[in-house]
Structure 1
Amino acid sequence: MSAATVALVTGANKGIGRETARRLALRGATVLLASRDPDRGAEAARTLAGEGVRVRPVRLDVTEAESVTAVAARITQEYGRLDVLVNNAGTFLGARATDTTGAVMQDTLAVNVVGVVTVIHALLPLLRSAPAPRIVNVSSTTASIGLTADGSDLPGDASLRLAYASSKAALNMLTVQYARAFAEDPELAHLKINAASPGYTATDMNAFRGTRSVEEGARAVVELATLPDDGPTGGFFDDRGRVAW
């Protein structure tokens, strides 16, 4: 990667998003560190600058179409294209299945699914202009219908993740649908899109109970963001390989 490579990471002021932004910047990319709260984004950029890593903070709320449009306009004006999009912004509203309301589900989907569609739709013209564009949707192993149905012992509290796991399963389906649509469009066939599972990573989303570091959690995300031309598309991966749908 080089400074000519432009990458946008959503929800990047902390955790896996910030680590992903850091690693892409270390690889030489121009990284836009997007966060809903501009102050937190600026603070994250300052923290990385203290480590000798330069990123550019931008305000982006994936649930606000105007915010997404403004970022797309800025990228268009300043760079003219986008090479890497990492859809990392996400939310976890823990509730037992019998206590999960429509409002909880709606708020979860608004960020984890609808927000991703909003961002991709707005930025697709910029990705189309890139020579080797990559989209990474940050998913979760708990989204695996196969592993869940088999009764696999997935990390975290299974009783509280109905909304979260369902939203990430929907995100995986978005990934497959986009991949098929891109493959059928000659102007988008070079765009690779994949879903990444960071594993049970210690972040504030799980009160830092995760067993993996953010460095480990970001590994698969960065690998998929920097795939070579012969890399896969439309898949679901962690840092060990494919994850069961």
Structure 2
Amino acid sequence: MNDTRIALVTGANKGIGYEIAAGLGALGWSVGVGARDAGRRESAVEKLRAAGADVFGVPLDVTDDASVAEAAELVAERAGGRLDVLVNNAGVTGGMPQEPTKVDLETVRTVVETNVIGVIRVTNMMVPLLRRSASPRIVNMSSGVGSLARQSASDDPNVTGPVAVAYSPSKTFLNAVTVQYAKELRDTGILINAACPGYVATDLNGFRGVRTPEQGAAIAIHLATLPDDGPSGGYFEDAGVIPW
């Protein structure tokens, strides 16, 4: 087990997170399937194991301190105190519509709590385990709608997404957080980057997306397996760098 690469994927019971876990599992990694819903988590674990992946369930609610602490303990026990890759995939849209003048402020709080604070909470709890890895990586699942450059340059909802004062800015916030982590961790060997999966058909968008979850997972798997001289503090999609 000590020679096996260990990853934790949050929100991995379905959609893109599930496919990230499947993809890393196919590479021979041992993958923690993080999810708060016990039934869906165990169903995903069973399905992944049936496909030959070495996976284990990790009860995890990214908005709860105690849950995240317990998840870190479970991962540490499983991996001998080490974690090689953390993929912060769990996220919510908050529901639509989200016009700025009409939005319920509680919606904004809920989205930021999960999509930003939840990432910080999980990352900070896992960093001590990542420091014990020879090639530690963190991937924050962002979105192209978090690009201020794209938002300011286009009114095309196919580029910018719908008007959404909670969801889109939460991804912009997450991108900024990713840069700050990269600065702090510059000399530690931990590479951290933000990933855009594209417009993927998942329950978050009513399955209106044009890409499959497997296609959406590809950029995360790429960033999770970067060489030691790979980038850190970047914002990427399959086609390359996304403008901030």
TM-score, scaled relative to structure 1: 0.94
Conserved 8 A contact 1:12-1:33: yes
| 2:158 is aligned with 1:155 | yes
| Equivalences for residues 76-225 of structure 1 within 5 A | 76-79=76-79, 80-93=81-94, 94-97=96-99, 98-151=101-154, 153-155=156-158, 158-183=161-186, 186=187, 188=188, 190-225=189-224
The residue number in structure 1 matching 2:13 is: 13
TM-superposed CA distance for 1:49, in Å, is 2.3
Percent identical pairs in the alignment equals 44
Measure, in 1, the Cα distance between the counterparts of 2:29 and 2:166.
34
* SS of aligned partner of 2:179: helix
TM-superposed CA distance for 1:76, in Å, is 2.0
Q: Number of matched residues?
A: 240
TM-superposed CA distance for 1:157, in Å, is 8.1
Conserved 8 A contact 1:141-1:154: no
Conserved 8 A contact 1:156-1:200: no
Change (3 A) 1:3 1:33: farther
Conserved 8 A contact 2:22-2:53: yes
TM-score, scaled relative to structure 2: 0.94
Alignment root-mean-square deviation, CA: 1.5
Change (3 A) 1:86 1:233: same
TM-superposed CA distance for 1:95, in Å, is 2.2
Conserved 8 A contact 2:154-2:160: no
> Mind listing any 5+ residue stretches in structure 2 that lack a counterpart?
none
